[in-house]
Chain A
Amino acid sequence: MSEKTLIIGVGNLYRGDDAAGLMVSRSIQGKLDADIIEHDGEVTSLMDVMRGRKSVIIIDAVCSGANVGEILEYDLNKISLPDIFAKSSTHSFGISEAVELIKVIDVLPEKLIFYGVEGKYFDEGQGVCNEVNDSVTVLAEKIIKDLEKINA
């Protein structure tokens, strides 16, 4: 079982604010002692990459009705993602469904944190809105600080 935290940035660079998760994972690359990957949220592959991990952080853009740019944090071992997330992923079988499915047929990592960045525009196109861009910076700094504390 790998001791390093796995950080998964989920999203699509060609769908406006949906790039948020990928942007966070790119901005923390090389700045902390963790395994960092990009992912499109595909369920079987997501299950594979999480299998055998003790600690996983998933970052994705969400469209939940919160204020644009708001960062939402969920400890998925304690609660499930709200239903609204299950029906709001651009990915083939949403993160929420993937996590719930793993709960039924497999074992979740001991620590599984989901960060959602509330987006505004998810149309085809490149670039995120200012609010999301600011939140990407804030969230990247938070993750670095949190992991530095844990690793210390």
Chain B
Amino acid sequence: MTDKKTRTIKVDYLARVEGEGSMHLKIKDDELVDVKLKIFEPPRFFEGLLRGRSYKEAPDITSRICGICPVAYQMSAVHAIEDAFGVKVDGSLRDLRRLIYCGEWISSHSLHIYMLHAPDFLGYESAIHMAKDHKDKVQSGLQLKKAGNSIMSLIGGREIHPINVKVGGFYKVPTKKELLSLKDELEQAKDIAVETVKWVRGFDFPDFEQDYEFVSLKGKNEYPFNQGRLVSNKGLDIDANEFDDNFIEEHVEHSTALHCIKKDGGSYFTGPMARYALNYDNLSDIAKAAAQESGIGKICNNPFKSIIVRAIEVLYACDESLRIIENYVEPEKPSIDIQVKAGTGYAITEAPRGLLYHRYSIDDNGDITDAKIVPPTSQNQKIIEDDLWKFVPKYMHLPDDKLQFHSEQAIRNYDPCISCSTHFLKMDVERL
């Protein structure tokens, strides 16, 4: 403490946020006077690495940005480049792209629900501690996650950093028989997903609702993965090529991180809660039924209940995977023909944790001259800080360790992925 009435909580390592992060809270005279969150640094290295490379390399290079959501990076890359070339991938190839994205959602969401977020609600320090008392639950979570990995492995060529995605489609497509081999595992996963919604809806949630601006893709007659207009509940309705006109990455003083905000200065909320609020009607019947039973309504404004929304999305992704597999007709060719032409292309896809924007400029030789990547955590960072400003005062009477716990839980609501940022952080907890 710097004086009797000032306390500073500085957490240089945010446990159970993938990758690294730091949080700084300063309280003076029982008033919160400063919130600094550093959980994201932009993938500028990769943007630089892409310049001068062939467009063909972009899916594989960008998939290396994040070990948790490589498919999202590949999907945004291929769609942006296809936009530049003026080509559209449709039919079974489009379905396969939805399917591999389902795999990533199932895998990523399951990890977050069971390993990172549920321990908060049940009062455990970590999933390992939770597993000692809830072994069956953790095993269910791992089984669910594995079903997602199986989809990524079959379509992507391997679970980690899939290598089968290319501009125009895939290098190789699965046979119907190969896809059907996933069916039993996914049926079991769907059952687990139903139980997961029931489990998490019974947790105790802090009373914390905000008037958010939710921003997500809105699909035409489908819950969005790769395509749709970018919309919000407060009037936004744009195409991907208008993203730069409406959003700006802002440098923040306390770190090298960037906050992506609306050009009018406002923060916004991207990710499962936004997708759910803006696309509820396009959920499958079983996902809608689970949502109704959970009692969260068609729009959920309590970020702590994001764990329920994630569970509903896992259920939807299992259901959607089975639908795609059932209807799959093997395409004649694994990819469509591509004609290289100079231009700029844009794409937004829905990574598990929110919007992932890619923009590429390409020359006549097919080489990338400029690249811009705006990941979801860059976009949610400002709204997380906004939440902390409103949430922390409710718990300031608690000892520092309890206050830290609740604050970290508030951050984990957003499943911030910072493994796409840098390395480790100093692992000390400093209290002044």
Contacts and interface: CB of A to CB of B under 8 A. Distances in A.
Contact of A44 (B15, B126, B142): B142
A129 interface: no
Contacts of B44: 124
Interface string B125-144: 01110011001001100100
A2 interface: no
A124 B43 contact: yes
Interface string A29-50: 0000000000111111101100
B419 A92 contact: yes
Interface stretch (B75-83, B233-241, B374-382, B422-430): B422-430
A6 to B, nearest CB: 16
Nearest to B14: A87
Interface stretch (A9-17, A66-74, A109-117, A135-143): A9-17
A40 B161 contact: yes
Contacts of A14: 45-46, 64-65
Contact of B64 (A13, A47, A104): A13
Residue of B18, B422, B423 most packed against chain A (CB within 10 A): B423
A28 B422 CA distance: 28
A131 interface: no
Interface in B191-229: none
B159 A97 contact: no
> Can you list the 5 inter-chain pairs with the closest CB atoms, starting with the nearest?
A122-B423, A124-B45, A104-B131, A40-B67, A88-B424
Interface of A: 12-16, 18, 39-45, 47-48, 63, 84, 87-93, 97, 100-101, 104-105, 122-125
18 contacts: A13-B64, A14-B46, A40-B160, A41-B67, A44-B145, A47-B142, A48-B146, A87-B13, A87-B424, A88-B424, A89-B424, A90-B19, A90-B423, A91-B419, A104-B132, A104-B135, A105-B131, A124-B46
